[in-house]
């Protein structure tokens, strides 16, 4: 059993890294999501350990707990035990979720993400309405509001290492606040099945230094990456 167990552990650890890993955050929103995942994992592990402890007590010590009325077992084991773990987890989840919302009071640059089968168009109103195709440029260390919509069917906008996902709905705008910690290149994708070309509906995310952001768009325009 040692070889299968080791192979499973290696596969599990490998899945925690990579360009589409939510456990390798590169922005505050993604870090909040990753933190929530680890907290949920720890809570699930604690709850599982408590259940296993009760199970082994019953197996190793037959008759243990027989003096406790069934109704009390239901209350303690079915309500109290999960509540001790789940209530703090719910509280932390609400706190983490609140941090992901683009709350009013702080203005941010706006970039429009327009989905269609099976590509992405990104429009930059603050840069004279320039557009990029399947390449999203972002300034590092700056919160940006991504306004997402669709021209045909429901898609989903997702950059795993920078933020959570949000649906792209025809005739409707949804908003996601994204911030990257440092310059680099990341990957985004559609995370909602949208037809036969869904698997190839990826896009590149290039994060530039704030002082280089405008120049990067102009250079992209010169190479044909950006169109007006």
Summarised one tens digit per residue, pLDDT across range 15-44 is 556 778 888 888 888 888 888 889 889 888
pLDDT (0 to 100) of residue 9: 47
Q: Are 205 and 136 in contact (CB under 8 A)?
A: yes
CA 80 to chain centroid, in Å, comes to 31
Determine the pLDDT at residue 26.
Answer: 87
32 CB-near residues (< 8 Å, 6+ apart): 96, 99, 100
Quick one: CATH architecture of 110-227?
Answer: Sandwich (2.60)
Per-residue model confidence (pLDDT) at position 221: 66
Q: How confident is the model at residue 228 (pLDDT cuts 50, 70, 90)?
A: very low
Q: Which of 153, 175, 176 is nearest to 164 (CA)?
A: 176
Region of residue 214 (left: phi > 0; alpha: psi -120 to 50; beta: else): alpha
For 114-165, the pLDDT digits (tens) are 999 889 999 999 888 888 888 999 999 888 999 999 998 999 999 999 988 8
């Amino acid at each position: 059993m040692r070889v299968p167990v080791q192979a499973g552990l290696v596969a599990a650890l490998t899945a925690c890294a990579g360009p589409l890993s939510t456990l390798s955050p590169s922005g505050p929103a993604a870090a909040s999501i990753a933190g929530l995942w680890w907290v949920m994992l720890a809570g699930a592990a604690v709850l599982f350990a408590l259940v296993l402890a009760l199970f082994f007590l019953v197996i190793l010590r037959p008759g243990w707990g027989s003096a406790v009325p069934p109704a009390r077992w239901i209350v303690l084991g079915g309500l109290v035990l999960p509540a001790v773990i789940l209530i703090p987890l719910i509280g932390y989840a609400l706190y983490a979720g609140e941090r992901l919302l683009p709350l009013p009071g702080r203005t941010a640059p706006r970039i429009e993400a327009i989905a269609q089968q099976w590509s992405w168009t990104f429009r930059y109103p603050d840069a004279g309405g320039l557009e990029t195709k399947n390449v999203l440029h972002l300034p590092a260390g700056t919160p940006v509001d991504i306004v997402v919509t669709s021209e045909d069917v429901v898609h989903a906008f997702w950059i795993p290492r920078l933020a959570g996902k949000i649906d792209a709905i025809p005739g409707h705008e949804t908003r996601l606040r994204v911030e990257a910690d440092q310059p680099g290149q990341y990957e985004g994708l559609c995370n909602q099945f949208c037809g036969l070309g869904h698997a190839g509906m990826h896009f590149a995310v290039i994060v530039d230094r704030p002082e280089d952001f405008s120049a990067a768009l102009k250079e992209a325009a010169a190479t044909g990456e950006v169109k007006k």
